[in-house]
Structure 1
Protein backbone atom coordinates (compact mmCIF):
# COMPACT_ATOMS: atom_id res chain seq x y z
CA UNK A 1 0.00 0.00 0.00
CA UNK A 2 1.20 3.49 -0.79
CA UNK A 3 0.24 6.78 0.82
CA UNK A 4 0.46 10.36 -0.38
CA UNK A 5 1.50 13.12 2.02
CA UNK A 6 0.69 16.71 1.02
CA UNK A 7 2.00 19.74 2.90
CA UNK A 8 1.44 22.97 0.96
CA UNK A 9 3.28 22.56 -2.34
CA UNK A 10 5.29 19.57 -1.04
CA UNK A 11 4.20 16.07 -1.99
CA UNK A 12 5.83 12.94 -0.65
CA UNK A 13 4.89 9.29 -1.00
CA UNK A 14 5.36 6.39 1.33
CA UNK A 15 5.27 2.63 1.02
CA UNK A 16 3.72 0.90 4.01
CA UNK A 17 4.83 -2.36 5.58
CA UNK A 18 2.62 -5.31 6.39
CA UNK A 19 1.94 -4.47 10.05
CA UNK A 20 -1.10 -3.95 12.25
CA UNK A 21 -0.09 -0.29 12.62
CA UNK A 22 0.00 0.21 8.83
CA UNK A 23 -3.42 -1.45 8.46
CA UNK A 24 -4.93 0.79 11.15
CA UNK A 25 -3.49 3.91 9.50
CA UNK A 26 -4.77 2.92 6.04
CA UNK A 27 -8.24 2.18 7.44
CA UNK A 28 -8.38 5.70 8.94
CA UNK A 29 -7.34 7.57 5.76
CA UNK A 30 -7.73 10.25 4.61
CA UNK A 31 -7.00 12.63 7.45
CA UNK A 32 -5.81 16.21 7.89
CA UNK A 33 -3.64 17.52 10.70
CA UNK A 34 -1.08 20.19 11.63
CA UNK A 35 2.67 19.63 11.45
CA UNK A 36 5.16 20.03 14.27
CA UNK A 37 8.95 20.02 13.96
CA UNK A 38 11.43 18.33 16.26
CA UNK A 39 14.89 18.57 14.78
CA UNK A 40 14.77 16.78 11.43
CA UNK A 41 11.48 15.12 12.17
CA UNK A 42 7.95 16.21 11.42
CA UNK A 43 5.10 14.79 13.43
CA UNK A 44 1.36 15.31 13.48
CA UNK A 45 -1.52 14.07 15.58
CA UNK A 46 -3.84 11.50 14.00
CA UNK A 47 -7.26 10.11 15.02
CA UNK A 48 -5.82 6.79 16.20
CA UNK A 49 -4.93 5.25 19.53
CA UNK A 50 -2.59 2.32 18.90
CA UNK A 51 -0.27 0.19 21.01
CA UNK A 52 3.48 0.08 20.38
CA UNK A 53 4.34 -2.54 17.74
CA UNK A 54 7.98 -3.71 17.46
CA UNK A 55 9.18 -0.49 19.09
CA UNK A 56 12.34 1.20 17.83
CA UNK A 57 14.18 4.31 18.98
CA UNK A 58 17.01 4.50 16.43
CA UNK A 59 15.68 5.01 12.93
CA UNK A 60 16.65 5.55 9.31
CA UNK A 61 16.07 8.49 7.00
CA UNK A 62 12.58 8.29 5.58
CA UNK A 63 11.08 6.06 8.28
CA UNK A 64 7.38 6.66 8.87
CA UNK A 65 6.29 5.69 12.38
CA UNK A 66 3.47 5.96 14.90
CA UNK A 67 4.31 7.42 18.32
CA UNK A 68 1.76 6.08 20.85
CA UNK A 69 2.20 8.68 23.67
CA UNK A 70 1.47 11.55 21.28
CA UNK A 71 -1.05 9.69 19.09
CA UNK A 72 1.06 11.00 16.23
CA UNK A 73 2.71 9.94 13.00
CA UNK A 74 6.38 10.87 12.76
CA UNK A 75 8.48 11.12 9.61
CA UNK A 76 12.24 11.16 10.15
CA UNK A 77 14.74 12.80 7.79
CA UNK A 78 17.77 13.42 9.99
CA UNK A 79 18.99 13.88 13.57
CA UNK A 80 16.62 15.00 16.34
CA UNK A 81 17.37 16.64 19.71
CA UNK A 82 17.60 13.09 21.20
CA UNK A 83 20.18 11.92 18.65
CA UNK A 84 23.67 10.91 19.66
CA UNK A 85 26.08 11.93 16.92
CA UNK A 86 24.58 11.46 13.46
CA UNK A 87 22.03 8.83 14.43
CA UNK A 88 18.32 9.46 14.01
CA UNK A 89 16.63 8.89 17.36
CA UNK A 90 12.98 9.20 18.35
CA UNK A 91 11.98 10.82 21.64
CA UNK A 92 10.78 7.38 22.78
CA UNK A 93 10.01 4.09 21.06
CA UNK A 94 7.88 4.28 17.90
CA UNK A 95 6.17 1.73 15.65
CA UNK A 96 7.80 1.97 12.21
CA UNK A 97 5.18 1.14 9.58
CA UNK A 98 6.50 2.61 6.35
CA UNK A 99 9.20 4.43 4.43
CA UNK A 100 9.21 7.59 2.31
CA UNK A 101 9.85 6.69 -1.31
CA UNK A 102 12.27 9.08 -2.96
CA UNK A 103 14.04 11.89 -1.14
CA UNK A 104 12.78 12.46 2.41
CA UNK A 105 14.92 15.63 2.53
CA UNK A 106 12.07 17.53 0.81
CA UNK A 107 10.48 17.62 4.27
CA UNK A 108 13.18 20.01 5.49
CA UNK A 109 11.10 22.81 3.92
CA UNK A 110 8.09 22.05 6.16
CA UNK A 111 7.44 24.65 8.86
CA UNK A 112 5.80 24.31 12.26
CA UNK A 113 2.02 24.61 12.03
CA UNK A 114 1.52 23.78 8.35
CA UNK A 115 -1.54 21.83 7.30
CA UNK A 116 -0.88 18.23 6.25
CA UNK A 117 -3.10 15.74 4.45
CA UNK A 118 -2.43 12.01 4.27
CA UNK A 119 -4.38 9.87 1.83
CA UNK A 120 -4.16 6.61 -0.10
CA UNK A 121 -2.00 7.12 -3.21
CA UNK A 122 -3.55 6.32 -6.59
Structure 2
Protein backbone atom coordinates (compact mmCIF):
# COMPACT_ATOMS: atom_id res chain seq x y z
CA UNK A 1 0.00 0.00 0.00
CA UNK A 2 1.49 3.31 -1.09
CA UNK A 3 0.73 6.37 0.98
CA UNK A 4 0.60 9.85 -0.45
CA UNK A 5 3.70 11.91 0.36
CA UNK A 6 3.34 14.31 3.25
CA UNK A 7 3.47 17.94 2.16
CA UNK A 8 3.85 20.91 4.46
CA UNK A 9 3.71 24.66 3.89
CA UNK A 10 6.18 26.90 5.70
CA UNK A 11 5.17 30.59 5.75
CA UNK A 12 6.85 33.76 7.00
CA UNK A 13 6.09 37.46 6.39
CA UNK A 14 8.09 37.74 3.14
CA UNK A 15 7.12 34.41 1.55
CA UNK A 16 6.42 30.71 1.79
CA UNK A 17 7.66 27.34 0.56
CA UNK A 18 6.20 23.88 0.48
CA UNK A 19 8.11 20.72 1.24
CA UNK A 20 7.61 17.05 0.47
CA UNK A 21 8.49 14.85 3.44
CA UNK A 22 9.42 11.18 3.63
CA UNK A 23 7.52 8.82 5.90
CA UNK A 24 9.74 8.85 9.00
CA UNK A 25 9.05 8.84 12.75
CA UNK A 26 10.08 12.52 12.84
CA UNK A 27 7.73 13.43 9.99
CA UNK A 28 4.85 11.67 11.74
CA UNK A 29 5.58 13.51 15.02
CA UNK A 30 5.72 16.85 13.21
CA UNK A 31 2.53 16.35 11.22
CA UNK A 32 0.70 15.30 14.41
CA UNK A 33 1.65 18.70 15.89
CA UNK A 34 0.48 20.81 12.92
CA UNK A 35 -0.37 23.57 12.55
CA UNK A 36 2.39 25.20 14.56
CA UNK A 37 3.77 28.69 14.85
CA UNK A 38 7.23 29.64 16.00
CA UNK A 39 9.89 32.35 15.79
CA UNK A 40 12.63 32.17 13.18
CA UNK A 41 16.31 32.01 13.98
CA UNK A 42 18.99 32.40 11.31
CA UNK A 43 22.43 30.78 11.42
CA UNK A 44 24.48 31.55 8.34
CA UNK A 45 22.37 30.32 5.42
CA UNK A 46 20.09 28.19 7.57
CA UNK A 47 16.71 29.00 9.06
CA UNK A 48 15.64 27.08 12.15
CA UNK A 49 12.86 27.34 14.67
CA UNK A 50 11.53 25.55 17.73
CA UNK A 51 8.68 23.12 17.07
CA UNK A 52 7.67 22.24 20.61
CA UNK A 53 8.08 18.55 19.83
CA UNK A 54 10.79 16.18 20.96
CA UNK A 55 11.98 13.21 18.90
CA UNK A 56 14.91 10.82 19.03
CA UNK A 57 17.83 11.00 16.64
CA UNK A 58 17.25 8.56 13.79
CA UNK A 59 19.93 6.13 12.62
CA UNK A 60 20.41 7.96 9.30
CA UNK A 61 20.80 11.44 10.86
CA UNK A 62 23.35 13.55 8.99
CA UNK A 63 25.30 16.73 9.65
CA UNK A 64 26.13 17.63 6.02
CA UNK A 65 23.15 17.82 3.66
CA UNK A 66 22.20 19.33 0.31
CA UNK A 67 20.66 22.83 0.21
CA UNK A 68 16.89 22.59 0.56
CA UNK A 69 16.92 19.47 2.72
CA UNK A 70 14.28 19.55 5.47
CA UNK A 71 15.91 18.37 8.69
CA UNK A 72 15.06 18.14 12.38
CA UNK A 73 17.69 19.17 14.92
CA UNK A 74 17.00 16.83 17.83
CA UNK A 75 19.31 18.73 20.21
CA UNK A 76 17.14 21.85 19.82
CA UNK A 77 13.69 20.37 19.05
CA UNK A 78 13.85 22.50 15.91
CA UNK A 79 13.11 22.26 12.23
CA UNK A 80 16.34 23.23 10.43
CA UNK A 81 16.20 24.40 6.81
CA UNK A 82 19.65 24.94 5.27
CA UNK A 83 19.96 26.70 1.92
CA UNK A 84 23.71 27.40 1.90
CA UNK A 85 26.80 27.46 4.10
CA UNK A 86 26.59 27.85 7.87
CA UNK A 87 29.32 29.29 10.12
CA UNK A 88 30.89 25.82 10.49
CA UNK A 89 30.65 24.77 6.81
CA UNK A 90 33.71 23.77 4.84
CA UNK A 91 33.41 25.55 1.52
CA UNK A 92 29.90 25.71 0.10
CA UNK A 93 28.46 22.70 1.96
CA UNK A 94 25.44 22.89 4.27
CA UNK A 95 26.90 21.76 7.60
CA UNK A 96 24.35 21.68 10.41
CA UNK A 97 25.12 22.31 14.09
CA UNK A 98 24.99 18.55 14.71
CA UNK A 99 23.50 15.40 13.20
CA UNK A 100 19.88 16.05 12.19
CA UNK A 101 17.06 13.74 11.14
CA UNK A 102 16.49 14.02 7.39
CA UNK A 103 12.79 14.47 6.66
CA UNK A 104 12.56 15.43 2.99
CA UNK A 105 13.09 18.32 0.57
CA UNK A 106 11.79 21.81 -0.02
CA UNK A 107 9.84 22.22 -3.25
CA UNK A 108 11.09 25.10 -5.36
CA UNK A 109 14.02 27.43 -4.69
CA UNK A 110 15.40 27.02 -1.16
CA UNK A 111 17.15 30.40 -1.54
CA UNK A 112 13.77 32.03 -0.83
CA UNK A 113 14.68 31.31 2.80
CA UNK A 114 17.15 34.21 2.54
CA UNK A 115 14.12 36.51 3.02
CA UNK A 116 13.51 35.13 6.53
CA UNK A 117 14.69 37.53 9.22
CA UNK A 118 15.57 36.61 12.83
CA UNK A 119 12.46 36.96 14.94
CA UNK A 120 10.02 36.54 12.02
CA UNK A 121 6.90 34.55 12.86
CA UNK A 122 6.90 31.20 11.07
CA UNK A 123 3.87 28.98 10.50
CA UNK A 124 4.01 25.33 9.46
CA UNK A 125 0.83 23.64 8.28
CA UNK A 126 -0.27 20.62 6.32
CA UNK A 127 -0.24 21.30 2.57
CA UNK A 128 -1.44 17.92 1.29
CA UNK A 129 -3.77 18.54 -1.58
CA UNK A 130 -2.54 22.12 -1.96
Asked if these proteins are the same fold (TM beyond 0.5), I'd say yes
Report the alpha carbon displacement of residue 76 of structure 1 after superposing the two structures with TM.
0.7
Report the alpha carbon displacement of residue 9 of structure 1 after superposing the two structures with TM.
3.2
Structure 1: gaps spanning 5 or more residues: none
CA contact (8 A) 2:14 2:115 kept: no
Structure 2: gaps spanning 5 or more residues: 1-5
Q: Which has the higher Rg, Structure 1 or Structure 2?
A: 2
TM-score of the two chains, using structure 1 as the length reference: 0.97
- SS in structure 1 opposite 2:75? helix
Q: Tell me which of 111, 116, 128 is aligned to 1:105.
A: 111
State the number of aligned residues.
122
Residues 70-117 of structure 1, C-alpha deviations (whole Å, 9 max, x = no match): 110000100001101111100110001021000010110111000000
- SS in structure 1 opposite 2:113? helix
Q: Verify: 1:69 aligned to 2:75, yes or no.
A: yes
> Runs of at least 4 residues of structure 1 off by over 3 A?
none
Distance 2:96 2:14 in 1: 26
Give the equivalent residue in structure 1 for 2:98. 92
Q: Tell me which of 14, 36, 42 is aligned to 2:41.
A: 36
